[in-house]
């Protein structure tokens, strides 16, 4: 088996071992801080995807029939391996997608460990067989694995999204084919080594590197794939749903976002600073980032000045430097998209109060974006409507609670919204009316195992905890069980 520390990866993890690509082509993996090639992978093709699906299909009956305790034990072994190689994982993530090393060691690697831990906890407490109720003696409800699952993950939080899918799918008794983003494949290759070391049966976990047009599209339409779980853009999610329809497979989607952060006049004094930093975290490359800050008019001018100061103090630098800086965005393509949208903001006469076009001073190489803030952004502007996926914040005023809710909901997306107020009654009232799958209030994150997902164009699935486990289970009703 290949070592993830090598720089060339010419195969895929299929049926419990590394095999050479059947019909793939080479692709360079780039360090976004330096724009230098750090590895070469082979992108799989149709034949590689077919081989992985065949292995998963062959392994499914035996894996589905195992006791949940056996599957949980395998995940617990994986947890030990994951913790023992945390440093390797942090270095891989930092190098391949540009997360500053301090962020990679804590949030990026920690997210994977946390989701694995929460999956194990949820699986231990889950009743895979349960009676319908006292009113129907003898009726039993069985929760059974969906089958072969294609898991397609993005580059921005590699282990966060991979573990949100791989761990609950295998805990449920499904077999999987993982297609990680071709921009951040090294962390997934490292995870494959850990899964192999944990002793999962051959065929339960399979990995094929590839792009969306090749491997991703083929897996989505494959007749032997029973479910597709996808995290990525809304555009791709729509295409996946259409392609999957012909085989009536289950599709779970976690897509884009354009979260509103509603700051009322009575919010705590750190609310604006917290909101700017949250938006810029991971260089703005988070689907749940609070990218639209809505501020009550009586404190609007002060909020704009505070936001400007935070942006100007935000350091930007290479990912391998220890510190609290934000790193580069993942690729030249992503950099160019962000620059295009910043120019749109300028051309549409939003007030540019920090940042702007080009790289930060002193950084002439790498995909670095200036921390950027626009004020007086209105709903007709492009930067209000489109997900920018970079360190760009839009600020707008509101005059009433009703207007704040209307502005927050004025988007096709519905992933995460944020509310800042010390009035608990108002906070709950607003939270109920926001059209999003998640609402975070006053800087408090959701608890361990809280369901992650959205509505509208942000998708239809829920990941994490018991909800993540249920995503990969079918419900069977059986009468006269006893």
| The total number of residues written for the chain in this structure | 482
Which of 174, 279, 287, 394 is the catalytic position? 287
H/E stretch holding 131: strand 129-131
Which of 30, 182, 193, 254 is the catalytic position? 254
Active site (annotated) includes residue 287: yes
Longest dimension (CA), the chain: 74
How far is residue 463 CA from its own chain's centroid? 10
Residue 417's nearest CA partner among 407, 425, 184 is 407
Residue 475 burial by Cβ neighbours in a 10 Å radius (0-12, 13-18, 19+): exposed
Active site (annotated) includes residue 471: no
Strand 473-478 relative to strand 140-145: parallel, antiparallel, unpaired?
A: antiparallel
CB proximity list for 203: less than 8 A, separation 6 or greater:
15, 16, 55, 56, 58, 59, 60, 63, 175
Structure letter (DSSP) for residue 275: H
Q: Judge whether 224 and 57 are in contact, CB under 8 Å.
A: yes
**Given 3-state DSSP classes, what are the helix, strand and coil percentages for the chain, each rounded to the nearest 5?**
40, 20, 40
CB proximity list for 71: less than 8 A, separation 6 or greater:
63, 123, 170, 171, 173
CB proximity list for 461: less than 8 A, separation 6 or greater:
229, 252, 253, 254, 453, 471
Q: Is 25 helix (H, G, I), strand (E, B) or coil?
A: strand
List active site positions: 254, 287
């Amino acid at each position: 088996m290949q070592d993830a520390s090598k720089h060339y990866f010419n195969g895929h993890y299929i049926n419990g071992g590394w095999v050479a690509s059947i019909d793939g082509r080479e692709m360079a993996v780039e360090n976004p801080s330096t724009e230098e090639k750090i590895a070469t992978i082979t992108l799989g093709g149709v034949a590689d995807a077919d081989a992985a699906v065949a292995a998963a299909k062959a392994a499914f009956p035996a894996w589905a029939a195992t006791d949940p305790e056996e599957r949980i034990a395998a995940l617990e072994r994986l947890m030990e391996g994951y913790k023992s190689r945390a440093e390797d994982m942090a270095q891989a993530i930092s190098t391949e997608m540009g997360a500053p090393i301090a962020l990679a060691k804590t949030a990026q690697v920690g997210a994977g460990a946390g989701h694995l831990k929460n999956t194990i906890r949820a699986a231990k407490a889950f009743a895979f067989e349960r009676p319908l109720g006292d009113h129907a003696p003898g009726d039993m409800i069985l929760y059974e694995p969906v089958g072969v699952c294609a898991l397609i993950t993005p580059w921005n939080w590699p282990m966060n999204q991979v573990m949100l899918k791989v761990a609950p799918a295998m805990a449920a008794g499904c077999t999987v084919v993982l297609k990680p983003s071709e921009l951040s494949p090294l962390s997934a290759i490292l995870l494959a080594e850990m899964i192999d070391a944990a002793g999962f049966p051959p065929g339960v976990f399979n990995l094929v590197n590839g792009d969306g047009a090749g491997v991703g599209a083929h897996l989505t339409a494959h007749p032997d794939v029973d479910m597709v779980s996808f995290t990525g853009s809304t555009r791709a999610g729509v295409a996946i749903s259409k392609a999957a329809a012909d085989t009536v497979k289950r599709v779970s989607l976690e897509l884009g976002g354009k979260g509103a952060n509603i700051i009322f006049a009575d919010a705590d004094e750190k609310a604006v600073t917290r909101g700017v930093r949250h938006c810029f975290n991971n260089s703005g490359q988070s689907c749940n980032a609070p990218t639209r800050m809505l501020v009550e008019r009586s404190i609007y001018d002060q909020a704009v000045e505070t936001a400007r100061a935070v942006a100007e103090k935000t350091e930007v630098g290479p990912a391998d430097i220890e510190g609290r800086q934000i790193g580069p965005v993942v690729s030249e393509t992503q950099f160019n998209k962000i620059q295009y949208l910043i120019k749109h903001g300028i051309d549409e006469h939003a007030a540019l109060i920090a940042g702007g076009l080009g790289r930060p001073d002193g950084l002439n190489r790498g995909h670095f974006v200036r921390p950027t803030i626009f004020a007086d952004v209105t709903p007709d502007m492009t930067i209000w409507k489109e997900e920018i996926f970079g360190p760009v914040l839009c600020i707008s005023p509101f005059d009433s609670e009703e207007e704040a809710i209307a502005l927050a909901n004025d988007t096709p997306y519905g992933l995460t919204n944020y509310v800042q107020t010390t009035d608990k009654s108002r906070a709950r009232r607003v939270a109920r009316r926001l059209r999003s799958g998640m609402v975070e209030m006053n800087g408090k994150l959701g608890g361990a195992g809280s369901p992650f997902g959205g509505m509208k164009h942000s998708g239809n699935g829920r990941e994490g905890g018991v909800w993540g486990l249920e995503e990969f289970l079918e419900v069977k009703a059986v009468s006269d069980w006893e």
